[in-house]
Amino acid sequence: MSAVIMDGKKLAKQTKADIAARVKQSNKKLGLGTILVGTDPGSLAYVEGKHSDCAEVGINSIRVNLPVGASEQEIIKAVTDLNNNPECTGFIVQLPLPKSVDTEKILLAIDPKKDADGLNPVNLGNLVLSVNKIIPCTPRAILALLNEYKIKLSGSKVLIIGRGTTVGRPLSILLSQKPIDATITLAHSATTNLTDLIKEADVVIAAIGIAHFIKPNMVKPGATVVDVGITRVDNKLLGDVDPAVAQVAAFFTPTPGGVGPMTRAMLLSNLLELAK
């Protein structure tokens, strides 16, 4: 068996073409802001990609770069400035932030109406209530890929490995809601029977940041495997899933080229929602 590769690059290209057409038809001038603290290579590359996407679809971009030693007060001031900037339709604070910074405090400072990442507590609360269109970008990207490849979710056993605020927790809520109706198990560092859970799952979504953690013998033949985690090893980007899993799974997302490009595309989709 060789898995169908769920091509995030191809779907992102189609999504951005649709966004570009909608932007062109709109009378509104859209602007995406980014706040980057420090010089982490992965974060730098990701932010560069977001600004490149904006240029591609006709959205203005506003870049705020702060030094790695920036204080909470300095970061909150940058957030407040974008909250009040009429040229900024929405913005994101690139995560992770330095350990000395209270991330939740920073996210709370974002105006929910400009929260392009959907991570402000108000928007996360609305997600729980199923009344929010601003969904965190990576969960939205994963759902878009699963829908594109017509993966059966209703009643399926979906295992999400990782309970972080940006992926695992919001994704577990999103996939369990109507009309998606998946049966969700959320595993984490204290889960004792993880190998058994992986073997039983119809869909495995790995977001733990441990390179090639999931091996072919751990996955049920014919399962769908979505690789979200990224680890930089010898200047190469490796996912949580060993690429050999593609010989066992029915559907598989590559790293890079799977969830990442769609996450960036979903950020632009969220910006259009905020513009409404």
Residues recognised as catalytic: 50, 94, 117
Rounded CA gap, 41 and 64, in Å?
16
Rounded CA gap, 259 and 143, in Å?
10
Of 96, 101, 87, 109, nearest to 28 by C-alpha is 87
Rounded CA gap, 150 and 220, in Å?
19
Cis peptide before 256 (omega within 30 of 0): yes
Q: Where are the alpha helices (DSSP H) in 114-245?
A: 121-128, 137-148, 168-176, 194-200
Q: Where are the alpha helices (DSSP H) in the chain?
A: 8-25, 41-57, 72-84, 103-109, 121-128, 137-148, 168-176, 194-200, 259-275
Rounded CA gap, 203 and 249, in Å?
10
Tokens at 64, concatenated: 């705020």
Q: What does each C-alpha distance from 200 to 5, 204, 219 come to in angstroms?
A: 21, 9, 8
Tokens at 160, concatenated: 């999400």
Q: Is the dihedral of CA 67, 68, 70, 75 positive or negative?
A: positive
174: three-class secondary structure by DSSP: helix
Rounded CA gap, 61 and 134, in Å?
19
